[in-house]
């Protein structure tokens, strides 16, 4: 049978990317095959400068010929040198294990950005003097809240001619803090919160827009600039723009238009804008037609050249509106305000539709909570005003307004000033975040677990704003590294995070100081936060390893290895006989009842992460073939482990802070962490597990007593130690403290704190760090984990826990679709699995009844306690605990376990 053509072609992890600025982009594809045990034995890629060439099977830039390999992900381009700002077309075919060639894939394409250093010497422009306004409090830790001077939105324009038919017209643009790009009266690109946040002095990102279909003979390009993070209090300044319009004519001739003094600039209707502050738009300020050709801009000022920054292409999904939410209800308050409830906490803004007299001021305040009397509770916003104001132009027709350069974290909106009484059609909620594509689906028979999972999805997306943020509502929304790594595994199960995290890892690398230290927050907008708590800066090692495990991304390792090593060596200089005593600040943050860790010593979590990260470094060294370093760091990790045990291990439990002389209770996090890394000496392991279980079962009645660190690991540790049922109880009860409690109290995203707190304080209703539980859902309940990098080997090991009668999960991995679905009925258990082409499967079939029979697609493979019929594609590997293990190649499998009489 002819193999199916490759699918889902990706370049640098993205579909049809624009602005690829690497000389050897990585190409990936996915394979599907109805045959079991299929694998790619060879591929051929053709890459051409024109679609016609590709159609005639000519790869004028690259024809790999037939390459014998099983590699189908991250194949590095190695053809003719790619030109900047050019579109390339490629396709691929593969040979299956029978050495049959597939048809060619559908073609895919990408457009390059600026590949060679110095090719684009950007000129940055801005207004001679930006009009300014004062906004409240954008300096963390929030609470210093000095007033901030920010600029009113800046409008820039210029006209240009396109003299002939364009084969390709591209606009490359970086507008800082944020920009909206317009061409001939239309918005180009998602607008609003682009480009992604970086430490601009080190690197600003440019976006690439294909406008071939929109250019005409006479054109006007317009840009509106907002403040975003490019503000004085973070060490930057007023907004600025660099832009390059490049047109390639069908004749091959090229024309380039830059940002320069020929651009004109003015103020406009957006009078005030700030990320935390909100936006104020006065629609009576009329500059109609400013973004179209022929506008009379003689009254506008000439733009001036300003200092700029190094540039790189933004190679990750943009921030955009992904979903529209109608209000669930609108309630009128006595005071004349209306409260819109969107039924869901989320990040973004609203779209207002209103008509009325000119000058009518409509005010929208955003909040996560209501007070008991139904009024807006702005407490969790802390110093973020989160208020958008729209002043009607009043020319008769309905006016539609959306803010441009702000976002809010909210469920409720209070509207005042609306002419008449607003109905639900007056306001629509827009969910806005980095638009990573979904990669996982998960569902169980337990509704509470499904709801926790749903809340995590909303929380995760609300906290992806070109960086992983801690929260979307208060005046933080920073790249706190602890929050980033604790939620990262859950994120890669649920979404395609490869490009997003690759960008963030670069942000981390650029934030490193010469001494090797890293900050708590990346980009380091808050300069005081060096050196980081090692439990936070562990994000560096953790994310590199995660990208290796899930996407087999060797380039990420090669790019970051040296900096990661410098970071680990830096930690070494801070260690005192291998114990890190001085760097810890937050530790097992936000345990029940408080913010700072009350029982887990901070030296312990710092040292534990030191060990954790050294082990990762040793593993990465081995991947790169640096065997001597791999051994050296493995030895160092051993030494740290020994020192850790000497310092913190007692007779049967690890150290805990004692709150009174009679407090000798074991602490969950203290015991869970070393168990997780298998640091506990073999002869004491049972005792340490017993201490942990004592705390869970007897002292806390199956409740967590962990902060965000312990929470990430405790359910795994309990499950691995054979206490999966205890873990399940912890995950699913509805009382304080726990995930079920949050939902029972009305949460639609997870909270920052285990407590239900609603005041003006650190109690965000939409933090993602406690969402780490979702990784446990996928790995333990569905049972899916990568055994080899990039899911080249898949383990399926579902746990039958609690009242679950089915669990199903599907993942779109770099290797292709992976799935597990199990269902338990009276005396039968079914397990369907999907292993991608080229991968191997290690399928642990749950075996709840001694002596039961296991069939696969009707054939008996296991009976009583021994293998039965032989199948070369499904090889039994014996009993392992509560499972029978089978080794498979790729394919879809349907096992059934039947109780025998």
271, 367, 539, 830 from 807: Cα distances, Å: 52, 35, 30, 11
Q: Which is nearer to ligand BGC, 3 or 482 (CB)?
A: 482
Question: Could you say which residues in the range 703-762 bind ligand BGC, by CB under 6 A?
Answer: 762
Give the binding range for ligand BGC (CB under 6 A) out of 476-484, 573-581, 776-784, 791-799: 476-484
Binding-site size, ligand BGC (CB under 6 A): 10
We find the least distance from the C-beta atom of residue 463 to ligand BGC, in angstroms, to be 10
We find the least distance from the C-beta atom of residue 483 to ligand BGC, in angstroms, to be 5
> Binding to ligand BGC by residue 476, rule CB under 6 A?
yes
Cα–Cα–Cα angle for 156, 389, 359, rounded to 5 degrees: 90
Q: Which member of 205, 471, 874, 884 binds ligand BGC (CB under 6 A)?
A: 471
We find the least distance from the C-beta atom of residue 282 to ligand BGC, in angstroms, to be 34
Residue whose tokens read 């943009």: 318
Annotated catalytic residue, options 385, 752, 808, 856: 752
Q: Given its phi and psi angles, is residue 374 left (phi above 0), alpha (psi -120 to 50 degrees) or beta?
A: left
Say how many CA atoms lie within 13 Å of 287 toward its Cβ. Answer: 22
Give the binding range for ligand BGC (CB under 6 A) out of 33-41, 79-87, 474-482, 891-899: 474-482
We find the least distance from the C-beta atom of residue 380 to ligand BGC, in angstroms, to be 11
DSSP secondary structure string for all residues of 839-890: -EEEEEEE--STT-EEEETTEEEEETTEE-S--TTEEEEEEETTEEEEEE-S
Give the binding range for ligand BGC (CB under 6 A) out of 255-263, 477-485, 626-634, 860-868: 477-485
From the number of C-beta atoms within 10 Å of its C-beta (0-12, 13-18, 19+), residue 253 rates as exposed
We find the least distance from the C-beta atom of residue 322 to ligand BGC, in angstroms, to be 24
DSSP assigned state of 82:
P
Give the binding range for ligand BGC (CB under 6 A) out of 187-195, 365-373, 469-477, 645-653: 469-477
Query: 27-61 b/e with 16+ CB inside 10 Å = b?
Result: bbbbbbbebbbbbbbbbbbbbbbeeebbeeeebeb
23, 38, 830, 861, 876 from 858: Cα distances, Å: 52, 21, 12, 9, 16
Q: Which is nearer to ligand BGC, 729 or 767 (CB)?
A: 767
Asked whether the beta carbons of 656 and 665 are under 8 A apart, the reply is: yes
> Binding to ligand BGC by residue 282, rule CB under 6 A?
no
We find the least distance from the C-beta atom of residue 384 to ligand BGC, in angstroms, to be 13
> Binding to ligand BGC by residue 549, rule CB under 6 A?
no
Q: Which is nearer to ligand BGC, 219 or 669 (CB)?
A: 669
Q: Which member of 589, 608, 754, 791 binds ligand BGC (CB under 6 A)?
A: 589
Question: Could you say which residues in the range 758-777 bind ligand BGC, by CB under 6 A?
Answer: 762, 767
> Binding to ligand BGC by residue 586, rule CB under 6 A?
yes
Handedness of CA 536, 537, 538, 541 (dihedral sign): positive
Binding-site string for ligand BGC from residue 608 to residue 647, where x marks contact by CB under 6 A and - marks none: ----------------------------------------
Give the binding range for ligand BGC (CB under 6 A) out of 55-63, 412-420, 455-463, 480-488: 480-488
Residue 752 falls in the annotated catalytic set: yes
Local structure of 329: helix, strand or coil? strand
Local structure of 382: helix, strand or coil? coil
Alpha-carbon span 357 to 72, nearest angstrom: 62
We find the least distance from the C-beta atom of residue 610 to ligand BGC, in angstroms, to be 19
395, 504, 619, 779 from 790: Cα distances, Å: 58, 20, 16, 15
Q: Which is nearer to ligand BGC, 175 or 597 (CB)?
A: 597
Binding-site string for ligand BGC from residue 481 to residue 520, where x marks contact by CB under 6 A and - marks none: -xx-------------------------------------
Please, which residues bridge with residue 360 across strands? none
We find the least distance from the C-beta atom of residue 141 to ligand BGC, in angstroms, to be 6
Q: Which is nearer to ligand BGC, 29 or 536 (CB)?
A: 536
Q: Which is nearer to ligand BGC, 19 or 479 (CB)?
A: 479
Contacts 24+ apart (CB under 8 A), 671-675: 671/695, 672/706, 672/710, 672/713, 672/714, 672/717, 672/718, 673/604, 673/605, 673/608, 673/709, 673/710, 673/713, 674/608, 674/644, 674/645, 674/648, 674/649, 675/717, 675/720, 675/721
Please state the φ and ψ torsions of residue 105, each to the nearest 5 degrees.
-70, 170
Please state the φ and ψ torsions of residue 345, each to the nearest 5 degrees.
-80, 135
Q: Which is nearer to ligand BGC, 470 or 716 (CB)?
A: 470
Alpha-carbon span 691 to 252, nearest angstrom: 74
Annotated catalytic residue, options 194, 476, 490, 808: 476
Say how many CA atoms lie within 13 Å of 268 toward its Cβ. Answer: 25
Q: Which member of 180, 291, 385, 470 binds ligand BGC (CB under 6 A)?
A: 470
Q: Which is nearer to ligand BGC, 411 or 767 (CB)?
A: 767
Which two structure tokens, joined as six digits, stand for 508? 């981390």
Q: Which member of 62, 172, 340, 480 binds ligand BGC (CB under 6 A)?
A: 480
Binding site for ligand BGC (CB under 6 A): 470-471, 476, 480, 482-483, 586, 589, 762, 767
Positions annotated as catalytic residues are 476, 752
């Amino acid at each position: 049978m002819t193999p199916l053509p490759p699918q889902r072609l990706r370049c640098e992890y993205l579909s049809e990317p624009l602005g690829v600025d690497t000389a050897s982009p990585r190409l990936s594809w996915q394979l599907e095959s109805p045959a079991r045990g299929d694998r790619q034995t060879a591929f051929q890629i053709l890459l051409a400068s024109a679609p016609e060439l590709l159609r005639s099977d000519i790869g004028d830039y690259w024809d790999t010929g037939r390459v014998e390999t099983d590699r189908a992900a991250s194949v590095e381009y190695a053809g003719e040198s790619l030109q900047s700002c050019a579109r390339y077309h490629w396709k691929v075919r593969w040979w299956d294990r029978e050495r049959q060639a597939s048809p060619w894939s559908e073609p895919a394409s990408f457009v390059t950005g600026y590949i060679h250093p110095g090719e684009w010497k950007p000129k940055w422009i801005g207004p001679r003097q930006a009009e300014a306004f004062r906004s409240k409090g954008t300096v963390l830790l929030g609470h210093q809240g000095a007033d901030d001077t920010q600029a009113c939105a800046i409008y820039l324009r210029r006209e240009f001619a396109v003299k002939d038919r364009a084969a390709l017209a591209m606009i490359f643009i970086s507008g800082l803090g944020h920009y909206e790009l317009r061409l001939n009266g239309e918005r180009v690109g998602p607008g609003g919160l682009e480009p992604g946040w970086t430490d601009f002095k080190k690197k600003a990102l440019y976006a690439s827009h294909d406008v071939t279909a929109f250019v005409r003979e006479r054109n006007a390009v317009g840009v509106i600039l907002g403040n975003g993070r490019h503000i004085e209090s973070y060490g930057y300044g007023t907004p600025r723009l660099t832009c390059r319009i490049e047109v390639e004519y069908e004749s091959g001739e090229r024309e380039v238009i830059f940002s320069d003094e020929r651009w004109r600039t003015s103020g406009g209707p957006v009078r005030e804008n700030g990320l935390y502050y909100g936006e104020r738009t006065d629609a009576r300020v009329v500059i109609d037609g400013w973004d179209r050709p022929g506008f009379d801009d003689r009254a506008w000022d000439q733009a001036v050249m300003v200092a700029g920054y190094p540039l790189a292409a933004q190679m990750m999904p943009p921030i955009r509106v992904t979903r529209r939410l109608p209000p669930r209800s609108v309630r009128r308050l006595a005071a004349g305000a209306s409260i819109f409830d969107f039924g869901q906490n989320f990040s973004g803004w609203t779209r207002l539709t209103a008509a009325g007299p000119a000058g009518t001021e409509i005010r929208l305040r955003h909040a996560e909570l209501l007070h008991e009397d139904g009024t807006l509770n702005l407490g969790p916003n802390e110093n973020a005003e989160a208020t958008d104001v729209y002043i009607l132009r009043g020319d008769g027709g309905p006016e539609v307004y959306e803010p441009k350069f702000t976002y809010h974290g909210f469920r409720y909106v209070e509207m005042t000033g609306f002419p008449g009484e607003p109905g639900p059609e007056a306001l629509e909620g827009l969910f806005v975040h980095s638009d990573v594509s979904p990669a996982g689906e998960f569902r169980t028979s337990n509704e509470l677990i499904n709801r926790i999972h749903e809340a995590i999805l909303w929380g995760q997306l609300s906290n992806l704003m070109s960086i992983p943020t801690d929260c979307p509502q208060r005046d933080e929304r920073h790249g706190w590294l602890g929050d980033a790594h604790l939620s990262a595994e859950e994120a890669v199960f649920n979404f395609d995070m490869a490009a997003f995290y690759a960008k963030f890892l670069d942000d981390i690398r650029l934030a490193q100081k010469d001494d090797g230290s890293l900050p708590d927050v990346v980009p380091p907008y808050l300069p005081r936060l060096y050196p980081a708590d090692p439990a936070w800066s562990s994000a560096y090692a953790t994310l590199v390893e995660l990208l290796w495990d899930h996407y087999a991304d060797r380039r990420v390792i090669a790019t970051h290895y040296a900096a990661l090593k410098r970071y680990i060596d830096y930690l070494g200089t801070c260690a005192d006989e291998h114990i890190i005593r001085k760097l810890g600040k937050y530790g097992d943050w936000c345990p029940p009842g408080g913010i700072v860790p009350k029982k887990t010593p901070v030296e312990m979590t710092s040292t534990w992460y030191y060990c954790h990260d050294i082990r990762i470094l040793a593993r990465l060294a081995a991947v790169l073939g640096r065997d001597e370093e791999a051994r050296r760091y493995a030895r160092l990790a051993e030494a740290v482990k020994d020192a850790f045990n000497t310092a913190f291990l007692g007779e049967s439990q690890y150290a805990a802070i004692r709150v009174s002389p009679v407090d000798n209770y074991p602490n969950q996090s203290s015991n869970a962490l070393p168990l997780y890394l298998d640091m506990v000496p073999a002869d004491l392991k049972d005792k340490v597990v017993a201490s942990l279980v004592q705390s869970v079962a007897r002292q806390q009645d199956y409740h967590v007593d962990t902060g965000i660190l312990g929470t990430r690991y405790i359910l795994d540790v309990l499950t691995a130690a054979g206490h999966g049922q205890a873990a399940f109880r912890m995950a699913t009860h509805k009382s304080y403290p726990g995930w079920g409690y949050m939902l029972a109290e009305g949460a639609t995203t997870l909270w920052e704190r285990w407590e239900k707190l609603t005041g003006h304080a650190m109690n965000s209703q939409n933090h993602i760090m406690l969402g780490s539980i979702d990784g446990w859902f996928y790995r333990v309940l569905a049972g899916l984990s990568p055994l080899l990098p990039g899911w080249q080997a898949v383990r399926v090991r579902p746990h039958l826990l609690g009242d679950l009668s089915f669990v199903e999960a599907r993942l779109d991995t770099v290797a292709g679709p992976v799935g597990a679905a199990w269902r338990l009925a009276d005396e039968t258990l079914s397990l369907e699995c999907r292993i991608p082409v080229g991968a191997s499967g290690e399928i642990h079939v749950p075996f709840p009844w001694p002596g039961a029979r296991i069939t696969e697609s009707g054939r008996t493979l296991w009976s009583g306690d021994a293998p039965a019929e032989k199948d070369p594609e499904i090889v039994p590997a014996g009993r392992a605990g509560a499972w029978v293990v089978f080794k498979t190649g790729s394919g879809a499998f349907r096992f059934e376990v039947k109780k025998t009489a």
